[in-house]
Amino acid sequence: MDTIPLFPLNAVLFPGGPLKLRIFEPRYVDMIGRCMREGAPFGVAMIIEGSEAGGPATTATIGTSARIVDFEKLPDGLLGITALGERSFRVQKVTRQPDGLNVADIEWLEAEPSVPVPSNCEPFVLLLQHALPELAPLYDFSPVSYDDASWVGARLVELLPLSAAEKQLCLEMQDPLLRLDHLRSRVHIQRDEAN
């Protein structure tokens, strides 16, 4: 079991996914500074109850670690960071420090298996091949893997207008083919009947 700082968000982060944040609360400025100095990740977990800023927040038990890959001073003077999702984890216990920062004891989940994208999901691959280049520079730090069902499913969940709760459900599936089946049931794919 490992212990990592936890960043509760109204968002769901997948392994390989980008995360852009504006950092303004002192507890998170300190956390980000420490993570950058030590090259250490922090945990991202979706808020179930509470808010991103201010008081305490209860999070989902499944989250994803994030590693900072870029930072900048924003025009408003705040710190802006870009992080990349790495590994999923299960929260075992959360402790709130005196400065309000949540620290979680976590158990790392096994990486999803690398399996090919099923032929009935090829339209999803084409969609991503057109959409992701349009989203630069957001996906500039994300390695591309159009032939991997886990990677394709995760990117689709990030881009589709699903609720945060449904995105969390997709993260918790931990099965790339099940996730793609779920997305196929939610998205109508127009087929070329001539083929």
What pLDDT sits at residue 143?
87
Residue 185 or 190, more confident: 185
Kindly list the distances between the CA atom of residue 80 and the CA atoms of 24, 29, 160, in Å, as whole numbers in the listed order: 9, 10, 24
User: CA-to-CA distance for 100 and 92, rounded, in angstroms?
Assistant: 19
* pLDDT value at 165 more than 60: yes
What pLDDT sits at residue 195?
40
Q: Name the nearest CA neighbour of 124 among 194, 174, 186.
A: 186
What pLDDT sits at residue 187?
80
What pLDDT sits at residue 193?
41
What pLDDT sits at residue 189?
59
CATH number corresponding to 2-108 = 2.30.130.40
Q: Does domain 119-186 correspond to CATH entry 1.10.1760? A: no
pLDDT tens digits, one per residue of 24-61: 988 999 999 999 999 999 999 999 987 665 666 789 99
Q: Please, which pLDDT band fits residue 194 given cuts at 50, 70 and 90? A: very low
* pLDDT value at 131 more than 50: yes
Instruction: Write down the domain spans for the chain.
Output: 2-108, 119-186
* pLDDT value at 17 more than 60: yes
| Arithmetic mean of pLDDT, 15-21 | 95
What pLDDT sits at residue 56?
67
What pLDDT sits at residue 51?
66
pLDDT tens digits, one per residue of 134-144: 988 888 888 89
What pLDDT sits at residue 142?
84
Beta strands in 74-155 (DSSP E): 79-96, 102-108
Q: What is the mean pLDDT of the chain?
A: 91
| DSSP state letters, 98-121 | TTS-EEEEEEEPPPPP--BPPGGG
Q: What are 100's two structure tokens?
A: 């309000």
